[in-house]
Amino acid sequence: MRAPALPGLALALALLLLQPPRPARSAAARFDPTWESLDARQLPAWFDQAKFGIFVHWGVFSVPSFGSEWFWWYWQKEKRQKYVNFMKDNYPSGFKYEDFGPLFTATFFNANQWADIFQASGAKYIVLTSKHHEGFTLWGSEYSWNWNAVDEGPKRDIVKELEVAIRNRTDLHFGLYYSLFEWFHPLFLEDESSSFHKRQFPVSKMLPELYELVNKYRPEVLWSDGDGGAPDHYWNSTGFLAWLYNDSPVRDTVVTNDRWGKGSICTHGGYYTCADRYNPGHLLPHKWENCMTIDKFSWGYRRDAGIGDYLTIEELVKQLVETVSCGGNFLMNIGPTLDGIISTIFEERLRQMGTWLKVNGEAIYETQPWRSQNDTITPDVWYTSKPKEKLVYAIFLKWPTSGKLFLGQPKATGGATEVELLGHGQPLKWISWEHNGIVVELPQLTVDQLPCKWGWALALTSVN
Ligand SMILES: *[C@@H]1O[C@H](CO)[C@@H](O)[C@H](O)[C@H]1NC(C)=O
Ligand SMILES: *[C@@H]1O[C@H](CO)[C@@H](O)[C@H](O)[C@H]1NC(C)=O
Ligand SMILES: *[C@@H]1O[C@H](CO)[C@@H](O)[C@H](O)[C@H]1NC(C)=O
């Protein structure tokens, strides 16, 4: 064989040929605008690892802050007595819901303060209502003339301010809720009366707005809601999602939920929400999220809430633990006031969750469901796991009076098995229990010595 005339060039060519193929997004990896294709997309890994997020319901409904964020509907459409009377007693006759708009001041809204509270809560993502069913957008939507936070009320781009604060000051992922339909939008109502054969509203309002929202604020959670009884082809949800997953600026990191048109909930989309405050109590094969309000009766702030209407921190920790054990994420909702304050009770719950997660986060973040979700002997014991580290976590919500915790599920594997109370440090004594599980001797601690309150976690090494 003849030596090559230009060995340098040949070498370069050979090296070029040896290069692995570029990890370009090949045409094959693109998604079609069909549920079959879109549903097969793997959720970006960050979402399952995050486990805990904060939902924020804020809008013009925060001005009356009475009853529910569904105020407009209950008052004008259903004409519920409570709401009709509230208006009669407190506002001049002829006062319209639209008149609440200028009263939505956000006077004390400080996105940096919010971000710092969210960071302290231990949450890994937030979801803000960019637009609820009332149609008022918290950003200066080009498709919402005079019914948005830049033209009216605060005269500020709330979505932008929060996005910057979250991205600049925290390690949380920034997400947005968006209501597809609007209760009283004339084009939606016209489409509705055509049994959704007309598509004026999605074409001129909802779709352009969604593209604008994603391009401008790059949300990593898009929490869709409010199908208004219309099917997904009316909303062109699959067309939009194909763009979101293929070509949008957040195509690699965005997650979405399952509310994309009548019948899509718990069936299509990204992760499942299935219902508000959904907590099935058993493992689900598909990633899901439990969106839960701290105020048992409302998502938006309401001044008529009594102390008993708020979930206690014990109840919230229980929700978190049950949810994560069963493969879900916990999305805990707060409602700020019309002037942008996170009321002290919401702030306290957020900070309490943060102190609990500081001790027990190891048993929550980046865990996987174990083969068993809750214990078969002792109630209120929930399991999570980290298979690579050979760790199983037993989170117990009641400290046993005997000082001994009976665990029916984990089986010791001889000398390798170790048990530790998170935040305590020293290995605990345990014995196998009739080959049926293990009994852990908890340390005798005073209330002040406990690593935390409301629930505790044991890290079990090498159990079956
Ligand atoms: C966000 O952080 C960047 C980089 O630290 C800084 O240049 C920018 O001014 C910050 N923006 C705001 C609005 O604080
Ligand atoms: C749906 O969205 C896709 C992607 O943007 C677009 O190509 C298609 O024309 C839309 N279809 C309808 C009926 O609006
Ligand atoms: C926990 O486990 C038991 C089986 O021991 C089961 O009957 C129960 O339904 C489970 N779930 C809850 C929410 O307690």
- The pTM of this model reads 0.92
Q: Which atom number of ligand 2 is nearest to the Cα of residue 203?
A: 14
**Looking at the predicted structure, is the pLDDT value of residue 342 above 50?**
yes
| Residue 9 predicted with pLDDT over 50 | no
| 169 residue type, one letter | R
Best substitution site from 374, 381, 383 to test ligand 3's pocket, by max atoms within 8 Å of Cβ?
Answer: 374
Tokens encoding 99: 């008149």
Q: Whose CA is nearest to atom 10 of ligand 1?
A: 168
Mean of the per-residue pLDDT values of the chain: 94
Give start and end residues of each alpha helix (H) in 202-270.
207-217, 232-235, 237-246
Structure tokens at 124: 């890994």
3-class DSSP state of 363: helix
171 CA distance to ligand 2 centroid (A)? 35
- For residue 280, give the H/E element and its range: none
Band the pLDDT of 416: cuts 50, 70, 90: confident
What is the edge-to-edge ordering of all strands in the sheet holding 456-461?
381-386, 391-396, 456-461, 418-421
Q: Which atom of ligand 3 is nearest to the CA of 376?
A: 5
> What residue ranges line ligand 1, CB within 6 angstroms?
164, 168
Higher pLDDT, 87 or 6: 87
Atom of ligand 3 nearest to the CA of 379: 14
Is residue 336 within 8 A of residue 301, CB to CB? The reply is: yes
For ligand 2, atom 7: residue with the closest CA: 239
Q: Is the CB of 256 under 6 A from ligand 2?
A: no
Please write the tens of the pLDDT for every residue from 208-232. 999 999 999 999 999 999 999 999 9
State if residue 130 touches ligand 2 by the CB under 6 angstroms criterion: no
Does the pLDDT of residue 294 top 50, yes or no? yes
Handedness of CA 277, 245, 226, 266 (dihedral sign): negative
**Ligand 3 binding residues, C-beta < 6 A:** 281, 374, 376
Is 236 touching ligand 2 by the criterion CB < 6 Å?
Answer: yes
| Interval between CA 243 and ligand 2 midpoint (Å) | 9
C-beta 235 within 6 A of ligand 2: no
**Cα–Cα dist 263/244, whole Å:** 21
Is residue 351 helix, strand or coil?
helix
- Which amino acid is residue 220, in one-letter code? E
Tokens 């979505």, residue located: 159
- Given a contact cutoff of 8 angstroms between Cβ atoms, the answer to whether 258 and 274 are in contact is yes
pLDDT in tens, 432-441: 987 789 999 9
Sign of torsion over alpha carbons 408, 411, 416, 422: negative
384 pLDDT higher than 90: yes
Question: DSSP strand E in 209-353: where?
Answer: 221-225, 255-256, 288-293, 328-334
